[in-house]
Structure 1
Amino acid sequence: MNEQSDLSMKNDEVLRVELEVFRHEHRDLDDAIRALTERGTADQLTLQRLKKRKLRLKDRIAQIEDRLTPDIIA
């Protein structure tokens, strides 16, 4: 099942909870990337994987926000 159909099967309350979880995880990844970069202890592959995960979360957050925000007909 793809992410888009997965979103359509969930109610708004479930999506709001997921949204908060994903936002929290996104902030945690940001902190981890910053810490590893500042210490200089991470290899490039690890940083690249963390950044990729962060981007996927950002996309997922945007999808959920779009689903929760009603369309405005102008």
Structure 2
Amino acid sequence: MASSHVNALQTKHAGLEAKLREEMARPAPDAAMIQQLKKHKLRLKEEIARA
């Protein structure tokens, strides 16, 4: 059960990474959105490390 939780977290992390790359590739990236995505990604990474 724990591994399925970790897999779900890793999937969310990968999705955030994709959104982050997409936002940064825009001609005028939204700095606030980038910061929010990075913080969320970091929280997920920390939760994965604890699991």
TM-score over 0.5 for the pair? yes
Q: Which TM-score applies when normalising by structure 2?
A: 0.90
**Are 1:17 and 2:17 counterparts?**
no
What residue number does 2:17 align with?
30
Q: Which has the larger radius of gyration?
A: 1
* Letter in structure 1 aligned against 2:20: I
Task: Name the CA distance, whole Å, in 1 between partners of 2:47 and 2:27.
Answer: 29
Task: Name the CA distance, whole Å, in 1 between partners of 2:7 and 2:34.
Answer: 24
Q: Give per-residue Cα distances to partners, 1:14-69, cap 9 Å, x unaligned.
A: x11110000000000001000110113431111101000000000000000xxxxx
Q: Between Structure 1 and Structure 2, which shows a larger proportion of helix residues?
A: 2
Q: Which TM-score applies when normalising by structure 1?
A: 0.64
**Are 1:46 and 2:43 counterparts?**
no
The count of corresponding residues between Structure 1 and Structure 2 is 51
**What are structure 1's unaligned runs of at least 5 residues?**
1-12, 65-74
RMSD of Structure 2 on Structure 1 (CA): 1.1
